[in-house]
Structure 1
Amino acid sequence: MKKYNKLVRDLIPEIIQADNKKCKTKIVEGKEKEIYLENKLQEEVNEYFQDKNLEELADVMEVLFGLADSLGYTEKDLIEKRNEKLKLRGGFKKGIILEEVN
């Protein structure tokens, strides 16, 4: 059996079982879940850097939603905070590089 010991999407065990395979899982909570989510975020960001596509960006977003939940926030809370900061400080679409301030 191949060992993974990493966080996977919620339906992965069912998908594996539907393929007539067996898997061993465990549920993590609290700080341990947060650590696994942070590791998953790093994994997904690295995959984005490698492939640079919308699917990898969506994976990064899903992990961010998981982290928000782990910290006691909803997806809506995260999006509202993003929109609040967007309104107050703007986004990153213009590609502005701050070189210096006098």
Structure 2
Amino acid sequence: MKKTTYNKLIRDKIPEIIKKSGHNPIIYTANDEEYIKRLYDKLIEEIEEFKENPSSEEMADILEVCDAIMSYFRMSSEEVIKVKNKKFKERGGFSKKLILKEVIRDD
């Protein structure tokens, strides 16, 4: 018998997929405190994967985690997009690739 330890948040259908492949997943349901921590960890994991392989598939994984975080905090995607658009209108986006090196003040 060979065991592989993952100890990470997984998508809801992964246990079924593992069982169909003839293996036995050992899982448990996280409490709210652990769940949000694991979502943050998963977001970092997915961003790292995207950095290694910038693709639509990896970006979709990031968005899935973001959707779960929004749901956890009872935010709607419409609300978030509205705020995003407002910030874009007021502050712009990132397309100009600007880097703020420093600010010199005349105090």
TM-score, scaled to structure 1: 0.83
Q: Within 2, Cα distance between the matches of 1:100 and 1:91?
A: 19
Q: Within 2, Cα distance between the matches of 1:17 and 1:79?
A: 38
Q: Within 2, Cα distance between the matches of 1:81 and 1:12?
A: 33
Provide Cα deviations, 1:42-98, integer angstroms capped at 9, x if missing partner.
111111111122221221121111111122212333223222222222211222233
2:65 to 63, 66, 75: 63
Task: Classify the secondary structure of the residue corresponding to 2:27.
Answer: coil
Task: Classify the secondary structure of the residue corresponding to 2:94.
Answer: coil
Aligned length in residues? 102
Aligned match of 2:18: 16
1:7 Cα deviation (Å)? 0.5
1:65–1:78 CA contact under 8 A, matched in 2: no
1:33–1:70 CA contact under 8 A, matched in 2: no
TM-score, scaled to structure 2: 0.79
2:27 to 22, 25, 29: 25
Inter-CA distance 25–76: structure 2 relative to 1 (3 Å threshold): farther
Q: Within 1, Cα distance between the matches of 2:79 and 2:37?
A: 21
Moved more, 15-24 or 43-52: 15-24
Structure with the greater alpha carbon radius of gyration: 2
